[in-house]
Amino acid sequence: MTAYALRRILGAIPTLFVIVTLAFFMMRAAPGGPFDSERRLPPEVERNVKAAYDLDKPVVQQYFLYLGKLAHGDLGPSYKNKDFTVTQLIATGLPVSMRLGLCAMTLALLLGTLLGVMAALRQNRWQDYSVMGVAMLGITIPTFVTAPLLTLVFGIYGVSLFGHDFSLPVGGWNGGALANMALPVTVLALPQIAVVSRLMRGSMVEVLRANYIRTARAKGLPVSRIVIRHALRAAVLPLVSYLGPALAAILTGSLIVEQIFGLPGIGRYFIQGALNRDYTLVMGVVICYAALVILLNLLADIVYGILDPKVRLA
C-alpha cells in the first residue's frame, strides 16, 4: 500500500504542473492587471512597481521565474494585501474552510446515511418517496439560493422556539463560534445530505437483495444486526468512492458561502484575488485546491481497499 501511495503521489506531479501552467497563462490572458485602478499611477511609479514584481518581463520569462520560486516553496507576495505573503493568507484562510467543510461533510454523512438506510428498508413506501423527493429538491436548489433564504428565516426575521425568539448570526466568523457556523455549515451540508442519501439508498437496496443477507434473515437475525453488521459495510463502498471528490468539492465549493456570510476562508480570498487580478494569490489557492483534490482522492482509494478485501492496491 505504501508503494501504491508513493506512485500516486509521484504521478500527481505532472498533473499539478499542467494545472499551474494553465492557471498561470489564463490569469495573464484576462484583461486588466493587479495595479490597474481608478486612480492612474504616474508612469515612472508604475514602471518601478512592475519591475519590483517582475511584471515588466515577457510572460514566458515570468512563468519560469514563478516555477523557480515555486520549486523552493515560495508562493510569492500578495499584490493587493501588501503586508502578507500568499502562504500567510492561505495559512489563515485554509483552517476556516476546512473546519466548515469537515463539519458540513460530517453532518451530511450522518443524516444522509440514516435517511438512505431508512428509505431502503421502506422501499416503495411513503418514507422512501418522501426521502427521495426531498433529496431531489436538495440537489436541484443551489447554495446561493438556500443561503439567503436561511439567512432571512433564521437570521433576519428569526423563529420562535419554545416560546422564545431565536435567531442566528448572518455573518462573521467570531473565532469559529457555534452560532456563527450554524447557517454556513447547514447551507453546505444540504446538497451533500441529498446526494449521500440517494447513494446510500440505492446501494443498500442492492445489498439487501444479496444471497448472504437472505441467509442471515433466514437464520432469524434481527433486522438491526443484519443492517449494521452485514449490509452497511458493503453498502458504504460506493459512498467511500464518492467521499474523496465530495470532500474536496465541499472544501473548494464554499466560495459562494464564504462570500455570502463574510467568512475569512480561502474561498473568499480566491474571489477577491480573481477580481483584483492578484495573480500570486489566485495561483496559490489553485495549487492548494489541486493538492487537496489529489490527496483526498488518494485517501478515498486507500480506504476503499481497506473496506473491500477484493480490491488490491497494486
Report the CATH number that the domain containing residue 177 is assigned in CATH. Answer: 1.10.3720.10
Check whether 19 has a pLDDT greater than 60.
Answer: yes
On whether residue 231 sits in a domain, the answer given is yes
Check whether 271 has a pLDDT greater than 50.
Answer: yes
Q: How far apart are CA 243 and CA 204, in angstroms?
A: 17
Q: How far apart are CA 233 and CA 224, in angstroms?
A: 13
pTM of this prediction?
0.79
Q: Which domain does 274 fall in, by range?
A: 86-307
pLDDT of residue 54: 79
On whether residue 208 sits in a domain, the answer given is yes
Tell me the CB-side half-sphere exposure of residue 279, using CA atoms within 13 A: 26
Q: What is the mean pLDDT of residues 174-196?
A: 88
The H or E element spanning position 159 is strand 159-161
How many structural domains compose the chain? 1
Q: How many CB atoms lie within 10 A of CB 263?
A: 24
On whether residue 210 sits in a domain, the answer given is yes
pLDDT of residue 298: 80
For the ranges 70-84, 121-135, 153-167, 274-288, the lowest mean pLDDT is seen at: 153-167
Check whether 165 has a pLDDT greater than 70.
Answer: no
Q: How confident is the model at residue 22 (pLDDT cuts 50, 70, 90)?
A: very high
For the ranges 81-90, 175-184, 291-300, the lowest mean pLDDT is seen at: 291-300
Q: What is the mean pLDDT of residues 146-150?
A: 87
Q: How confident is the model at residue 162 (pLDDT cuts 50, 70, 90)?
A: very low
Using DSSP bridges, classify how beta strands 159-161 and 164-166 pair: parallel, antiparallel or unpaired. antiparallel
Contact 183, 261 (CB under 8 A): yes
On whether residue 80 sits in a domain, the answer given is no
Q: What is the mean pLDDT of residues 74-89?
A: 85
pLDDT more than 90, % of the chain: 3
On whether residue 13 sits in a domain, the answer given is no
Check whether 28 has a pLDDT greater than 50.
Answer: yes
